[in-house]
Structure 1
């Protein structure tokens, strides 16, 4: 009686043949995993140190009256920009002007007397002592004029420097007395930013260290500056040091009293940087997948030593050199020794969505 055998059992070599035929395709599919790469590049780097600070005007003054009199003129508007030396407020100075004219007339009289006596003395018609007395009286009159002119300046309040005035809270005809505040004046083209830092970082601070500052008033803008000076004392209670920085303010948008978020960039240096997404952590060790451009982008797993991190990037201390090509996206799809399909290399002008759109378009065109 003949035995009944299945077709597969009569061909024991068939499963082996199918496996041999499928292996190249499986290997090719595995090796053709798509990845996106990035180059290790040198970039400006620093260790950030955050704090909160308050803005102050580069120069700020409250102009006050030093005499008692009535306001005669107001030559400014609220918030107006003024030049150095510009007359802002004039008090009633009629009496001071009259006293000055009297002193000037007396000076002219004594000057004429000196000239007459000098002519007579040159012809030996007047004693030298009379000439000297007349010259002394002339100097006395000139000194009196200088004193009256200085007193008259108290009636003319001028801007000591160029800047922006505040609100006008007085009117023409107001009686002011010594100490009465007339107007504020702030120099706003350069702003001073005062903030504190812990004493533990004192050894890492120096004048000229760069920093950046942001304000809730302008959330999308970063104001650059640098440390101008360090405080001479450490607060024994808070153990902090006062630091003053300078920020350029050419458009006058920053105002005294504003709260600023400050980030001091310590230890500025050129660092080797790669995307943080390229890291493959294993315990306390970090690895990356390096692509060999000379060998069809074959993958080589390499251990590296990293330093500081910032948003989306990491500093590489050891294990890579500039221009090394590493897998930035797709590290979970490739292994050491494989040859992936490179979609593109990230740079300042290329993004991941753009590379994916290009690959999708190329696939659809070839399909």
Structure 2
């Protein structure tokens, strides 16, 4: 077709179908509504988990194991008997001491009766009383020694895997079984000393681990170290994280984010921000009778976090901002708003619905 004919065809099309031409030239965008959301300045660190209470039980005497009363990984209560050593010899000594005490008590009774009749000296009564007291002390010592043959849980928790069996010979200091209290975990990490003035007990934090990539564990700072490491110039921090389902275990590596200076801020997606030199802009979508119009608005931004930006000035809560289709967006341009994204609706959903 000659060039003149093509131009004439376009002119006729614009003259006969102005509505169609306007529809083809209208730019489509997707918006998002600015919201007020909790915000804080993050401090990131790596930490290691520890049990709230943790110990390794060991014997204080040398003897063989007579009984093991727990299974691997079993939950136990404070005071539960875990391991009983062979104590037959000590039990025999206790019975002998008890028999001797009974004999001394009988002798004391006879001496007291004679002394009441003025048939024995008071010194005899006092000597027999001393023998009874000595026998009682011996019995108390034997009972205390027998407690060393019974290893009980010092606190409620979960035992580890046992590597011992009945009949095995144990000696003082030998590791027998681990016991950990896991309902609350301690998280130890270090931060640069420059943050010391911003940290305090009670400050909230969140932690994640590769073992549970979709889970976020919340906690708070329990205490700060009393010294700054002169080599790394960092200070130790200890936090506490609730662990009611006991998914977290001692020794796990955690990625920690401390939420300092918590506040409420206007928040927008990072995709809505257009940098221009040292300044930042957004495209506000203003409602008009004919069609929504774009308005370029300068904004002051604060901190950033994953996919979101804090807005200090320029945008208020409930303002609608263009987040998709910004490549060809211009100030004052009339646009076709496909919809607003939110937690339930994404950009892809709106684009597919417009097909």
The TM tier, using the shorter chain, reads 0.7 to 0.9
Distance 2:24 2:281 in 1: 21
- TM-score norm. by structure 1 comes to 0.83
Local SS of the residue matching 2:262: strand
Where does residue 349 of structure 2 map in the other structure?
A: 354
Question: In structure 1, what is the Cα distance between the partners aligned to 2:172 and 2:353?
Answer: 76
Which of 149, 172, 175 is the aligned partner of 2:166?
Answer: 172
User: Contact conserved, 1:287 with 1:303, CA < 8 A, in 2?
Assistant: yes
Q: Aligned partners of 1:116 and 1:297: how far apart in 2? A: 113
Q: Distance in 1 between matches of 2:192 and 2:17?
A: 63
The number of aligned residues is 347
Q: Which moved more, 1:80-89 or 1:139-148?
A: 139-148
Measured against aligned partners, the alpha-carbon deviations of 1:279-327 in whole angstroms (never above 9, x if no partner) come to 1221111111222236553332211101111222111001111111111
Q: Which runs of 5+ in 1 are unaligned?
A: 1-7, 9-13, 361-367
Give CA-to-partner distance per residue, 1:104-161, whole Å, 9 cap, x none.
3344445556666777778888777766665554444333322211111001111111
Note if 1:242 corresponds to 2:222.
no
Distance, in Å, in 2 between the alignment partners of 1:122 and 1:39 is: 101
Q: Distance in 2 between matches of 1:347 and 1:135?
A: 87
SS in structure 2 opposite 1:95? helix
Report the TM-score, using the length of structure 2 for normalisation.
0.86
Unpaired runs of at least 5, structure 2:
none
Secondary structure in structure 2 of the residue aligned to 1:308:
strand
SS at match of 1:250: coil
Match of 1:339 among 301, 309, 334: 334
Q: 1:351 to 1:119 in 2, by over 3 A?
A: farther
- The separation in 1 between residues aligned to 2:16 and 2:311, in whole angstroms, is 41
| Cα distance, 1:173–1:339 mapped onto 2, change above 3 Å | same
Q: Supply the distance in 2 between the matched residues of 1:50 and 1:38 (Cα, whole angstroms).
A: 29
SS in 2 for 1:104: helix
Equivalent-residue separation in structure 2 for 1:317 and 1:23 (angstroms): 46
Instruction: Tell me what 2:302 maps to.
Output: 307
2:160, 2:89 → 1: CA distance? 30
Q: Deviations over 1:141-183 (max 9, x none)?
A: 3333222111110011111112222232222222222222222
CA contact (8 A) 1:189 1:249 kept: yes
Kindly indicate whether the alpha-carbon contact (under 8 Å) linking 2:14 and 2:21 is maintained by their aligned counterparts in 1: no
Aligned CA-pair RMSD? 3.1
| Structure 2 residue aligned with 1:363 | none
Over 3 Å counting, the alpha-carbon distance change for 1:277 and 1:300 in structure 2 is same
- Aligned: 1:199 with 2:193: yes
> Which residue matches 1:218?
212
Answer with 1 or 2: which has the greater Rg: 1
Q: In the alignment, does 2:148 pair up with 1:148?
A: no
